[in-house]
Amino acid sequence: MNGNEIQKAQTTYVLQSWSKQKGLTPLPVEKADGIYLWDFDGNRYADMSSQLVNLNVGHGNRAIIDAIKEQAEKYCYISPSYASEPRAELAKMIIERMPDNMAKVFFTNGGADANENAIKMARMYTGRNKVFSRYRSYHGSTFGAGNLTGEPRRYPLEPGIPGFVKFFDPYLYRDNLPFATEEEASAYYVSKLREQVIYEGADSVAAIVMETITGSNGVIIPPKGYLQGVRAICDEFGIMMICDEVMAGFGRTGTMFAFEHWNVKPDLVSFAKGVTCGYVQLGGVVVSRAVAEYFDDHLLSCGLTYSGHPLACAAGIACLKFYDDEKILDNVNNSGAVLAACLEDIKAKHPSVGDVRSIGLFSAVELVKNRGTREALVPYGKDPDGVMNTIIGKLKQKGFLCYSHENMILISPPLIITAEQVKEEMAKVDEVLSDVDQMIS
């Protein structure tokens, strides 16, 4: 099929996620390599969101492709109850990259079921039922993960499952409270969370679940001391601290896992995306030694047909080796520093930019109607005039592919991007934001 035929077939037969189906024009992709992909007319696009912030190693990674092919020649599938070399080896490699309190891995198919199984384990381990998560969070759209999610994508699941309690991110830009330091802000937010835990009945709370860095809802980076404060609440009341590292994990922020920036040790960690970079779908939950030992003598009531799929685990092994061999963390920090500088230049130049936030190659540009009032460019949960879609469309016309959420442009390129490529692509954002400036003037 040519590009037009592929586009027509897709819109005729495929339901596209998070979209009204009428009028969709998905980009037909002919080929992809590195940070780029091409349509059938030969136009090149830079993949500046790593697809869905999962294609960390870029397109066409030969080491991962060869690992999948090699495993396929041995066997493509074996039940989770059998011992499988790629499954065992990948679990060992993941544990070696975790804090010293972590012990075992339960594999899932992706991020949503990783989060669902994490909260199931926390409930089984603690014997409690309530689970705290944040309003500006996305943990998946299946029924359990969707109830864990705090933002509008949870609405179709309501009325939801009892026992899910929401609290607010420490969102310093949007809250605009007069804190002198990040530590002072953290003390405030932690005290409010502790108060809420007490009001909900601390002995009924199984887990506090957080995206270590809130992802699609704005790359909201916790202030200094915040995660340590949450860890202290969990320790005080016997609550499981669950870090959702689905998006932020595996090098995205400049450390292998985002919680390393704040030197905390979670009880459970959910992961997906960057473990195989989408070459084969895979997720999982890493559990602490205490949790692992509990299930030595208690039934682990979790199971999936494709848990630890051999092709996915083979891809994961090759992916983790690639991170190490190519010193990807060094590149993330080097190219991330260039990205941060570009973002600060954009913020200084464009009145439509209220704030920019970045850590490693994980960033957001927050758009406003008025810098003084900080009024968002589009209302929360709404974009009736398609303003953000128009902005993303203008970027696409310049060969810059990314996505938006709420009033944010999310920019999270593959971790292999060079400093020169960052500068080249961010110049396109600069040009489009000049149009946005005119829009609000």
pLDDT tens digits along 309-357: 999 999 999 999 999 999 999 999 999 999 999 999 999 999 999 999 9
CA distance 122 to 132: 12
Cα distances (Å, whole numbers) of residue 101 to 87, 117, 260, 284, 295: 21, 19, 13, 17, 16
d(Cα 302, Cα 316) in Å, to the nearest integer? 22
Tell me how crowded residue 388 is: count the other CB atoms within 10 A of its CB: 19
Cis peptide before 28 (omega within 30 of 0): no
What is the per-residue pLDDT across 280-315, written as a single tens digit (0 to 9) for each?
999 999 999 999 999 999 999 999 999 999 999 999
The residue among 136, 49, 1 whose CA lies nearest residue 400 is 49
C-alpha triplet 349, 37, 332: angle, nearest 5°: 55
Element (H, E) at 121: helix 111-126
The contacts of residue 81 (CB under 8 Å, 6+ apart) are: none
> What pLDDT was estimated at residue 143?
94
Mean pLDDT to the nearest integer, 75-94: 98
Q: Give residue 325's pLDDT.
A: 98
Both structure tokens of 33? 């390599």
- Please state the rounded mean pLDDT for residues 195-220: 98
- Residue 276 tokens read as 């195989």
pLDDT for 39: 97
User: Nearest 5°: phi and psi at 389?
Assistant: -60, -35
Residue 207: in which H helix or E strand, if any?
Answer: strand 205-211
* pLDDT (0 to 100) of residue 284: 98
Q: For all residues of the chain together, what is the average pLDDT?
A: 97
CA dist., res. 90 & res. 283, Å (int): 12
Q: Cα(255)–Cα(428) distance, rounded to whole angstroms? A: 28
| 387: CB partners within 8 A, 6+ apart | 377, 378, 439
**Confidence band, pLDDT 50/70/90 cuts, at residue 156:** very high
Q: What confidence category does residue 89 fall into, taking pLDDT thresholds of 50, 70 and 90? A: very high
Q: Which residues contact 178 (CB under 8 A, 6 or more apart)?
A: none
Domain boundaries, the chain: 3-60+327-440, 63-325
| Fold topology of 63-325 | Aspartate Aminotransferase; domain 2 (3.40.640)
Structure confidence at residue 388 (pLDDT): 97
Cα 335 to Cα 362: distance, rounded to the nearest angstrom = 11
Q: Determine the CATH number of domain 3-60+327-440.
A: 3.90.1150.10
What's the Rg (C-alpha) of the chain? 22
